[in-house]
Structure 1
């Protein structure tokens, strides 16, 4: 993560990603002059009041809502109070959102602010671990959630589509056969014979979760089994396909609400 500092203001930039840019920043007063960019800017205010001019009106974002600035819309940014404001934001090209939507109209949030809880949850998930690189499957999964939530928050209606169960089952069986390896989205696409977004949609509908979360849960279950047998956590993490022990600990805590070490100590 890179850090830029100017007086009291600061800016953190998350590790580089091919799909999007993620930042966290604090401004004590003036933040940005009027500008526009060709990406969505989607984020949350963490503290204070984040004020900005957008589509001929002054907007004020506070913790709890979601900011959605449409591509090519002029906006600025400043603190709404003397306390300043802190926020997290990600920037994503419309083409990436459109890959999920498959030709549906690009979602537009009137006024640049949304109180839709689905969109807020999806946005916070993508921004929750800004100091870590995103696993490619985790990133694809989060982008899918954001695009669908954005579409719903904009009031766009979706029609029913037929599901390809055989393709989703091929992907699921592939996952079980490759848990000790690096599983990529390209691998799932090749195994299933479906494009990535159709596979993600069908997998969720048929198995109740995304491919990424399914993989993570299977690996965590295996990690628990090995740890209970006495294998050291550092060895467990590598044996189950995690980057390292801290990566496994973070995902275990997200999935179960408790660290793996604490879980094991409580069992003992």
Structure 2
């Protein structure tokens, strides 16, 4: 059978306005819901709208189609009225105290900062009231102000001699912290130095600060002058330091005779040093 292809042209409108349809052209009556097909000379009805049947069973849910594009964001709505403030909640129980963490390692000591600029010297303070006059001297050895303080500043100008009193000879009155900021000289028993020593020694005690460990002035010092025998022998010189009420051990300073020669000496004494010249 020969086949002729023609374009499909549908018509739609009221039935009274339906024209003669072309061959194979469909027409739909919007008022009666009828459908016609034309043959070029007349409109052939295909079927009328039937009575509405009973509602069929709901079909199963079809597959979900792909998500459509997100629509444009709408205009912000008017803010709602502020709601009532809610009641305060009760205070919860206090949590248990956590354990103390491990002590971290000590950090490195930073560099010592630069020494600051020296401050200005303060003004001289007011002169205090003059103290009471002391008892009169014995007259022997008195230091006259006209001789020893000629500039009148209350300080001895120059002293030719320093006194070395005969006090307690066992060193009990010259502990490291007895006389802060002083130098004193004493006549003492030789046993204070010990060892091969004569009857007595001369002692110099120097306390630069206060001789206590509570301060930062460090130790006090004693220098002992003696001989290996009474009224003679080899001279001895020793030094020691101390803090608070205790002196440390003596350290001997060499005072032995030193002989230098290309030959060994023919006569020597105990403790002599000999250096051979080569």
Q: Calculate the TM-score normalised by the size of structure 2.
A: 0.19
Q: Calculate the TM-score normalised by the size of structure 1.
A: 0.20
Mark the structure with the bigger radius of gyration.
2
Q: Which has the higher contact order (CA 8 A, sep 6+)?
A: 1
